Chain A
Amino acid sequence: MASRQELSDFLASVQRRAFKQTVYAVRDEDAALDLVQDAMFKLSEKYPDKPPQELPMLFQRILQNATYDYFRRQKVRNTWVTLLSALRPDDEEGHDSDPLETLEADDERESGESVADKYEREQTLKIIEEEISKLPGRQREAFLMRYWEEMDVAETAAAMGCSEGSVKTHCSRANHSLATALKARGITL
């Protein structure tokens, strides 16, 4: 059974990578923060009796399920938005747009272009992250769990709910896709 300190250390060690991993999947920082928080809550509430060595696998599984749920909710929401917007008369289009929203978005973009952010987002890292985001979901999950979270094949398979053979296949394909994509963009690693 994991102690409070062990759980705290585990969450502290994994939270940044979990956030980035989720951003690669959902491409929305706020949504990613919410999903990581939900995963942390579920891990601490539902699995307090699990041994510390099982926490990485459990956390990854919870995070994945939360991400899938997010996509499902988005799909339902998008369906309703499409339906409702189809019902809305054409002459009302544009009336709902708030100039302040645009202004706010512009402000955010400007603040995102600060020197600190430019320094953070080095070109190579940006391209790597872009290419990782473009990977198919299962390949990206397998690749990041195996090579970033440093989970072994068995742990990754358990977290992904698939066979060890599938994990190896996903990792191999992700590796080849990344190599090709990065080479095409002039990144030689």
Chain B
Amino acid sequence: MNDFESTQRIQRIQRALNQGAEKLPYKVTHRLEQSRLAALARFDAKPNVSVKTLGASLALSGELPLWRQALNFAFPIAAVAIALYAINVSRDKADIDDTAAIDSAMLIDDLPIAAYTDYGYGVFLKNSRQ
């Protein structure tokens, strides 16, 4: 079988297939047309959906690559963790500042004289020395 014969045969098969495709029954061509129009309607509806290109909406739609979807989920979690850590650090700092203020007041010893006449404070000082 040479190339020329092969090419001729392929061309004739192609013509026969094209004739077959042209002579489809009406119910088939009608259904195909309906399918095409429905597909175009979906194409028209697509931009409305693709406007939602922010955040998790696209991640959930599965149109982003896997690493972007993972990033979209990981980023809010990381942000919350960082915020919690910052709150914890700031509260620790506030506690330290308060304690430091009390300590410095005691070291400065600017207690009023009346405090030393207080019986309870006297007991406290006595116990502190022990």
Contact = CB atoms under 8 A, between A and B. Distances in A.
Question: Is chain B found bound to chain A in the same assembly?
Answer: yes
Interface residues of B, number: 33
B17 interface: yes
Contacts of B43: 4, 7, 44-45, 48
A175 B24 CA distance: 25
Nearest to A8: B40
Interface in B19-62: 19-25, 28-29, 31-33, 35-36, 38-40, 42-44, 46, 50
Interface residues of A, number: 38
Contacts of B10: 147, 175
B40 A128 contact: no
Interface string A4-32: 10011001100111011000000001000
Contacts of B44: 4
A26 to B, nearest CB: 14
B127 interface: no
A41 B32 contact: no
Contact of B35 (A37, A129, A182): A37
B28 A40 contact: no
A100 interface: no
Overall SS of chain B's interface: helix
Overall SS of chain A's interface: helix
Given A29-B28, A179-B1, A15 B14 contact: no
Contacts of A179: 1, 6, 9
Contacts of A176: 1
A29 B38 CA distance: 19
Interface of B: 1, 6, 8-10, 12-14, 16-25, 28-29, 31-33, 35-36, 38-40, 42-44, 46, 50
Closest 10 CB pairs of A and B: A40-B39, A37-B35, A44-B43, A120-B23, A16-B21, A189-B12, A44-B39, A15-B32, A189-B9, A11-B36
12 contacts: A11-B36, A11-B40, A15-B33, A19-B21, A20-B17, A36-B32, A37-B38, A116-B25, A124-B16, A125-B17, A147-B14, A178-B9
